[in-house]
Amino acid sequence: MELNKEKIKKSGINPRLAGVLTALFFLCLGFFILWQRYHILVKAEEREMSTIVNIVKQDIDQSLKNSYSAALSLALLINDDGEIGNFEAVAPKILEGNPNIDGLQLVPGGVIRKVYPYQENKEALDYNILQDPSRNKEALRAIKMRKMYFAGPFELRQGGMAVVGRLPVFIRDEFWGFSAVIIKMDHLIHLDRIEDMVKDKYYYQFSKVDITTGEEFNYFPKFSKGNTSYSEVVELPDGDWKFYLATQDQSYLLLSLIPLALLIILLSFWFGWSMTSILKQPLKLQALVKAQAGKLLESELNFRTIFNQAAIGMVRVDTLTGKFIQSNKRYIELLGYTEEELMAMDYKDISYPEDVGINSIRMRQLLNGEIREYSLQKRLVRKDGSLLWIKVTVSPLWQKGEQPTSHIALIEDISDKMQAQEELIHNEKRFRALVENSEEVICIFTQKGQTFYFSPAIERVSGYTESEIRELNLISLMHPDDLDYINAQMEISINTPMVPVSGIACRARHKDGTWKWIEITITNLLEDPAIGGFVANFKDITLRKEVEINLNKSYQLVMDQNRRFLNFSYIVSHNLRSHSSNIEAILTLYHSADSAEEKVTYIELLSKVSTALNQTLMDLNEVVSIQNNIDLSVEPLSVLSYVNQTLDLLEVQVKNKEAVIKKDIPKEMVVVFNSAYLESVLLNFLSNALRYSSSKRIPEISLKGYKLEDKWILEIMDNGVGIDLKRYGDKLFGLYKTFTNKSGSRGVGLFITKNQIDAMGGQVNVESELGIGTTFKISFK
């Protein structure tokens, strides 16, 4: 590189000097051409001037020739005797033929004798030219030269500037006089025509040379020889005249060349500069090459450093043989082979046998030019035999279209990633197994109830296979009564994303048509891109729910029982205590009695208490027997026949009260009941109806049997005194509760009746209004 630079320097031309020289050369050449050009212009001008001068000369010559012929014609009027012929007749004709001529004269002996036109020239008549010293020189010269000579120009006697051509006439060699022609200056020199030709470019001058002194008299102003650079002269010997034509100033020619000169200077400089640049080009290129070389060196160094120090393995491989050519430290470290060992191997030697196939295919594609690079994940076998998961990225080191040479492979250790991935797959499998084997169903569904995942447990719970249930809308499987509740829970879930809404117990229809209780936990994972729906876990809680319901029933039953027992124990304690306290009080009184009579009274009282106590004990016994008889024998009984039987027993009372009995009981009304209880129940209600009849009207008792929702109902309606249910409703069926002032009502009947019905699993309700009547409704199990 350095050598090259020297060469260029030695080849010797300093670009700047070459530029200056070039500029000078072109400047000289330019100015030479300019000089030539100037000369051509000058020559052209000279030619033009000469032409003009010639034209002027020709014009004057023509005028003079005409004048000569005119003067000659006029001279011919003179005969040999010197007498003038018919001047007046001929002169006009001559003038007519020569428009340039302004006047004719015949001057015999130097005295103007004949003039034409007369009027204009009469002033000159009789003027002796030869006698006038100011004019005779020229006249004498004509005589002396014996040829026509033009005098003037001068101021005519008769007025106006003109020249006078005088032809000396000799008769027999004897001077006779002159035949003269007057030409006014206007007709001699056609100024307008000259002006037209010269314009402002030239000066012109017309002068007369004094024959004797040689002096020149100029006739036009604006002309002096001093300030002319060039002039053209024509001499007119017939009058000793000279006509000059001169350029006013030739500098304008130079001025006209200034733009061209400037252009030449500019071009010269440009050529000079161009030359410099051209010559400098190699130097620039050289500098560029040097810079590039530096960069190349640097990048090579960088590359070498990267190659060796890179955190990923790098290896250069001969593409055709697969042999390693160059390896970096990392690659050696990864494999555990030494560099020498590695250089003797090819890529197949260290590839895991299963992975060689795909690698070979890719390599072939690379060789064929089908692909320009590839990367794949494969396993390598380390020197110690262990496997290494790597990601290899291969790039060829030849250009497209070139013969394959070698390629570079970048090797990334992805063992950790692969391990993580394997773990992920393992975890996924584990979770899947958990989900799929779980008793709980997991499903993912959209807000509209469409499902896109069900765990296999769905078949156990719903009876539908996964594909069957996906065709169904979940809502259609829900119990209609639970829909509002489910929707409310869904609303909560929609409003609380990511928060599980649990414990949603509802009924869903099994494929076999039965309703199953399920408990659902819904989690709104709409915002989770991996789910994009609601996740519902649910399980069949039918058994639990049934147990719960049964438990609840049992609880109700037990509570009911308990309440009854509490009531009973209260009654027992109260009733028995009232008797015992009475006994106690009587005994106290007895002991402190003053007299024997008084003591007898107390004994009598005591026996009354004893009777009452006995009665109470009997009542309680009856109650207890009902409460205890859980396993009482039951049988189907015809209600109608039992009603009839009971009415027979009450025949006397019915008669006494003159009561009207109405029966509307179907024969098929058969209930499962204990026979003694049914008798007791019917007797109680009917005797009550009779006992509490109103004295204001005829007692009327109607019995009606009918079926309501698969249950037999027996209605016993009377028009008796009625019961104030607001006051006594809660006590109606209580023990020892009486609601009338009638004697004989002990408050035991309804209590026992109710217990008997309860024991048979039935129910009894009452509707009543004071003074109108009472209706008892017995509902049989």
Partner 1 sequence: MKKSICVIDDDMIYQLIIGKIISRSGYFHKPLFYKNATKALADFKSLETELPQVILLDINMPQMDGWQFLEALIKERPNLDSETDIYIVTSSIAHSDRLKASTYKQVSGFLSKPITVSKIKEMGVRLK
- Quick one: 140 or 609, whose CB is closer to partner 1? 609
Identity of residue 60:
I
Torsion of Cα atoms, 337 then 341 then 344 then 349, to 10°:
-30
Give min distance, CB of 688 to partner 1, in A.
Answer: 15
Give min distance, CB of 562 to partner 1, in A.
Answer: 16
Cα 665 to Cα 628, 669, 675: the distances in Å are 31, 7, 18
Cβ neighbours of 122 (radius 10 Å): 12
Task: Evaluate whether 317 touches 406 at the Cβ level (below 8 Å).
Answer: yes
Q: How far apart are CA 685 and CA 756, in angstroms?
A: 12
- Quick one: 556 or 573, whose CB is closer to partner 1? 573
Give min distance, CB of 744 to partner 1, in A.
Answer: 12
DSSP class of residue 481?
A: G
Q: How far apart are CA 605 and CA 586, in angstroms?
A: 7
Q: Which residues pair with 407 in a beta bridge?
A: 317, 396
Q: How many CA atoms lie within 13 A of 319 on its CB side?
A: 23
Identity of residue 130:
L
Q: Which tokens hold the place of 515?
A: 């309703």
Give min distance, CB of 526 to partner 1, in A.
Answer: 57
Give min distance, CB of 576 to partner 1, in A.
Answer: 8
- Residue 636 neighbours by CB under 8 Å, 6+ apart: 670, 671, 672
Give min distance, CB of 581 to partner 1, in A.
Answer: 3
- Quick one: 612 or 670, whose CB is closer to partner 1? 612
Give min distance, CB of 683 to partner 1, in A.
Answer: 21
- Quick one: 633 or 743, whose CB is closer to partner 1? 743
- Quick one: 267 or 589, whose CB is closer to partner 1? 589
- Three-class DSSP category at 358: helix
Dihedral sign for Cα 195, 245, 44, 227, please: negative
Q: Which tokens hold the place of 419?
A: 């391990």
Give min distance, CB of 593 to partner 1, in A.
Answer: 9
- Quick one: 674 or 753, whose CB is closer to partner 1? 753
Give min distance, CB of 721 to partner 1, in A.
Answer: 13
Q: How far apart are CA 626 and CA 608, in angstroms?
A: 28
Q: How far apart are CA 689 and CA 694, in angstroms?
A: 10
Give min distance, CB of 573 to partner 1, in A.
Answer: 7
Burial class (CB in 10 A: 0-12, 13-18, 19+), 145: exposed
Cβ neighbours of 422 (radius 10 Å): 11
Phi, psi of 540 (to 5 degrees): -80, 115
Q: How far apart are CA 112 and CA 132, in angstroms?
A: 12
- Quick one: 415 or 738, whose CB is closer to partner 1? 738
Q: How far apart are CA 25 and CA 35, in angstroms?
A: 15
Find out whether the peptide bond into 480 is cis, omega within 30 degrees of 0. no
Q: Which tokens hold the place of 172?
A: 């027999």
- Quick one: 329 or 599, whose CB is closer to partner 1? 599
Give min distance, CB of 687 to partner 1, in A.
Answer: 18
Q: Which tokens hold the place of 573?
A: 């304690």
- Quick one: 452 or 570, whose CB is closer to partner 1? 570
- Quick one: 207 or 687, whose CB is closer to partner 1? 687
Give min distance, CB of 579 to partner 1, in A.
Answer: 8
Least Cα distance to 445 among 532, 540, 521 occurs for: 532
- Quick one: 39 or 577, whose CB is closer to partner 1? 577
- Quick one: 326 or 601, whose CB is closer to partner 1? 601
Q: How many CA atoms lie within 13 A of 281 on its CB side?
A: 6
Q: How far apart are CA 448 and CA 442, in angstroms?
A: 17
Give min distance, CB of 608 to partner 1, in A.
Answer: 5
The DSSP code sequence of 617-637 is HHHHHHHHHHHH-TT---EEE
Give min distance, CB of 564 to partner 1, in A.
Answer: 16
Task: Give the interface with partner 1 as residue ranges (CB under 8 A).
Answer: 570, 573-575, 577-578, 581-582, 584-586, 588-589, 592, 605, 608-609, 612, 727, 736-741, 745, 747
- Quick one: 565 or 570, whose CB is closer to partner 1? 570
Q: Which residues pair with 111 in a beta bridge?
A: 128
- Quick one: 312 or 606, whose CB is closer to partner 1? 606
DSSP class of residue 221?
A: S
